[in-house]
Chain A
Amino acid sequence: MGTKEYDTFLLTDPMTVPEEQEMDLIVRDLTPVDRRYKYRSAYVTALLSKSESKYPDRLWIRLGRGQLQEKPWSIKIIKELNKFPKGSE
């Protein structure tokens, strides 16, 4: 399977985002197998790097008003998180 692509919205200065340590964030899947699921969002625990090649998948960065940043980062998704209360799953 080739490199997958995701994007995320950063609401803080991208320079302050911690690298190479586990963090929770929302990502959108830009390359699903079934194209109907493009932009599906998920809460995940992941490792991020500002280097495009550090982790297996590509992560595009958008700012709070949707501004796409020029260079992608890389991401390794460790697990998907469930934020929903029991009964609404």
Chain B
Amino acid sequence: MSHPVYKDNREFIKALEANNELVTVQQEVDWDLEMGAIVRRVCEKKLAAPYFKKIKDYPGFEALGAPLATYSRLAIAMGMNPKASVPEISDEYVRRTTGNPIPSILVDCKNAPCKENILSGKDADLFKLPGPMVHDGDGGRYLCTWHFVVAKDPDTGMINWGMYRQMVFDEKTMVGPVLPFSDMGKMFYGKYVPRNKPMPFATVIGCDPLSGVAACAPSPIPEDQFTGMLMGKPVELVKCETCDLEVPAHAEIIIEGEVIPNLWIEEAPFGEYTGYRTSPREPRTVYRIKAITYRNQPIITVSNMGIPTDEGQLLRSFSLGLEMRKLLESQGIPITGVYMLPESTHHMVVVGVRPIYSNIATQIANLVFGSKLSPWFQMVIVVDEETDIYNKDEVIHALATKCHPIRGIRKYEHAVGTPLYPFADPEDRKWSRGAQVLFDCTFPLDWPKADLPIKVSFNKVYPKEIQDKVLKNWKNYGFRD
């Protein structure tokens, strides 16, 4: 391990401050819309993360907004140079998360700051925490927007950490969507509900940044071990107070309880990651709480979903794209890279490939649409190796010029979707039905070589010596850059 590792959110905040990626807000802010509005504007302007020191009605609590909404903050979280490029961060992420998982270790309660305060029984009251009203018109206060929920498979003991939004209903109740094809959805609706058994859960708020990254990642590796791989050392966990789950010892706030089978309560609407308030208010999964534990002077984390770019869009795009890269590489597909555009709200992925055989784009689409990653995106753009997948201008150029409007587009019907797709019919949203599409931006291999269009760019249509001469004399011509 040769990179800095932040064991908690507080060390990460210091690192953000040292790298000019933090604005400390000393003025009191209201949890009722004001804090959300600030975080939203920060996301839209791609500004430094706001660190709120005073929250109205909640003395002693602080909040960190938009903790990972830029690649620069992701690079800092990874212990890398904040100026690292997206391909550099991607390569480092793939390097660290390929190989042997690193199991977590259990620490004693006395070494777990998240146990500094324990509320149970009647004292375990969700309104004692400064859950923000994130957007005007939301169905409730979303205490949990940048967090994760810990759950355990009752048969295999497999642990899942996942980001499932949670809205405060009353003192003891949170509600939120748990889609049946998600990891926790398969556990809860596939195993606990048929047995009519409540599922223990623990919500972790204000974790170290890499645990948050892991909770977003659609990897088959258990997230606690995945965090260890990202950190390069085991993550420290501690036992919960009311169940046999384990949670990060250095997290700010833990909410423990049970997910109730065969009971649904209306949740939403909510400003969602797609940049719209799309999914309907409807009966959703119910969490009843039993205990709250938290650090002294706890810092909640607040993400504000909306138009790009927030951390949900950025990190989900990042990890979805890189899991696709691992999948395609594992199948021996000669890809040059995979990049999911955060601006697409992780709906559109660009795959670069050396098109050495016919219909390779279809093979790529079939693989990624057939994987467990599939419900979260619906557009695949396949480009050849002369297109820089990280350059939006080049991708748009390839899409507009190389993709045949009929032959280049393949539609996939009857796909798994989500209620959050703005383009889906209301009935399809209700039943999580979607559709997908491939844009094949490679030229067919059977075209005569003489008929292949030649890309006209500085790097392509001038001899090397002319390029060198022009670059050498560029400033002499009078240009600055």
Write out, one digit per residue, whether chain B residues 262-304 have a CB within 8 A of any chain A CB (1) or not (0): 0101100100000001101110000010000000000000000
CB of B58 within 8 Å of the partner chain: yes
Interface segment out of the listed B130-138, B336-344, B472-480: B130-138
Separation of A69 and B141 alpha carbons in the complex (Å): 20
Write out, one digit per residue, whether chain A residues 34-54 have a CB within 8 A of any chain B CB (1) or not (0): 111111111000000000000
CB of A16 within 8 Å of the partner chain: no
Chain A interface residue bracket vs B: 20 to 34
Picked from A26, A35, A66, A84, the residue with its CB within 8 Å of the CB of B266 is A26
Separation of A83 and B169 alpha carbons in the complex (Å): 12
CB of B57 within 8 Å of the partner chain: yes
Contact status A40-B269, CB under 8 Å: no
B173 neighbours in A (Cβ, 8 Å): 84
Contact status B269-A65, CB under 8 Å: yes
Separation of A35 and B140 alpha carbons in the complex (Å): 14
B385 neighbours in A (Cβ, 8 Å): none
CB of B185 within 8 Å of the partner chain: no
Picked from A9, A68, A83, the residue with its CB within 8 Å of the CB of B281 is A9
Contact status B281-A88, CB under 8 Å: no
Contact status B288-A40, CB under 8 Å: no
Contact status B260-A37, CB under 8 Å: no
Contact status A11-B281, CB under 8 Å: yes
Contact status A64-B281, CB under 8 Å: yes
A85 neighbours in B (Cβ, 8 Å): 260, 263
Separation of A37 and B31 alpha carbons in the complex (Å): 12
A9 neighbours in B (Cβ, 8 Å): 139, 266, 269, 281
Q: Chain B: how many interface residues by the 8 Å CB criterion? A: 31
A64 neighbours in B (Cβ, 8 Å): 269, 280-281
Separation of A83 and B265 alpha carbons in the complex (Å): 9
B265 neighbours in A (Cβ, 8 Å): 26, 83
Contact status B260-A66, CB under 8 Å: no
Contact status A84-B263, CB under 8 Å: yes
Q: In the complex, which residues 449-474 of chain B have their Cβ closer than 8 Å to any Cβ of chain A?
A: none
Separation of A25 and B395 alpha carbons in the complex (Å): 50
CB of B329 within 8 Å of the partner chain: no
Contact status A65-B137, CB under 8 Å: yes
Contact status B170-A42, CB under 8 Å: yes
Q: In the complex, which residues 61-84 of chain A have their Cβ closer than 8 Å to any Cβ of chain B?
A: 62, 64-68, 83-84
Separation of A83 and B171 alpha carbons in the complex (Å): 14
Write out, one digit per residue, whether chain B residues 116-142 have a CB within 8 A of any chain A CB (1) or not (0): 000000000001100001011111110
Write out, one digit per residue, whether chain A residues 2-41 have a CB within 8 A of any chain B CB (1) or not (0): 0000000101000000000000001010000011111111
Q: In the complex, which residues 243-275 of chain B have their Cβ closer than 8 Å to any Cβ of chain A?
A: 258, 260, 263, 265-266, 269
Q: Which residue of A lies closest to B290 (CB)?
A: A88
Separation of A1 and B169 alpha carbons in the complex (Å): 25
CB of B210 within 8 Å of the partner chain: no
Contact status A41-B170, CB under 8 Å: yes
B58 neighbours in A (Cβ, 8 Å): 36
B263 neighbours in A (Cβ, 8 Å): 83-85
Separation of A40 and B281 alpha carbons in the complex (Å): 16
Contact status A40-B137, CB under 8 Å: no
Q: Which residues of B contact A (CB under 8 A)?
A: 32, 57-58, 127-128, 133, 135-141, 168-171, 173, 198, 258, 260, 263, 265-266, 269, 277-278, 280-282, 288
Having A38-B133, A39-B140, one finds 7 other A-B pairs with CB under 8 Å, namely A9-B269, A11-B282, A34-B127, A36-B128, A38-B32, A64-B281, A65-B280
Counting from the closest, the 6 A-B pairs by CB-CB distance are A66-B137, A88-B288, A66-B269, A41-B169, A65-B277, A36-B127
22 contacts between A and B (CB under 8 A): A9-B269, A11-B281, A11-B282, A26-B266, A35-B57, A36-B127, A36-B128, A37-B127, A39-B133, A39-B141, A40-B168, A40-B171, A41-B170, A64-B280, A64-B281, A65-B277, A65-B280, A66-B139, A66-B269, A84-B260, A84-B263, A84-B288
